[in-house]
Homo-oligomer: A and B are copies of this chain.
Amino acid sequence: MKTTLDQIVVEARELFRERGYAGASMQDLAERVGLKKASLYTRFPSKEALVEPVLALTLEETFADLDDDANDWLGSYEAVLKRIAAALTDRARCVGLHLAYGVQADAPDALSAVRKYFAALRDGLAAILKHPLSTKRATTVATDALVRLEGATLWTVIANDPQPMQRALKALIAEARALNASP
């Protein structure tokens, strides 16, 4: 009857995504994974400790199976952007954004996990953009791309409307293609 850590992390992510950090309860999580609440504490020392693995999993999924082919940076970039956009669209909300807004100073480990997560996302995108751009410019463009996609989740959340996300994605890809022409 051993429940895997992954199951717990996946369900915790879903819960954080739906209800945010404050709104998610260990009781709810226990029920989702078919355990009693006390049993969760044999796996994770606290609610706060769930945040890091939740975001690590998400980050891993985002950059899985990406070959850093210098000759096809544009393909890699498009692929990652599409992957991020797809994840944000089909779950409506972004776990990371929900946690970024919801995690407070009284959960310092969670706070630093959130910061590391977004820094890693940005750096992952920037690494691809370093092929046509300077390091500094790559970071800027990556940051702007990321916040643009994240912002579009507002409309998926309140109106269940994926179109702003699609338009943002299209615009970002067009900008990247333009970089290829004039660096």
Contact = CB atoms under 8 A, between A and B. Distances in A.
A149 B147 CA distance: 9
A85 B18 CA distance: 27
Contact of A20 (B102, B149, B168): B102
Number of copies: 2
Contacts of A159: 115, 118
Which secondary structure characterizes the binding site on chain A? Answer: helix
Interface in A157-183: 157-159, 164, 167-168
A101 B98 contact: yes
A164 B144 contact: yes
Interface in A132-146: 140, 143-144, 146
A158 B146 CA distance: 13
A102 B100 contact: no
A17 B181 CA distance: 43
A154 B158 contact: no
Contact of A115 (B19, B144, B158): B158
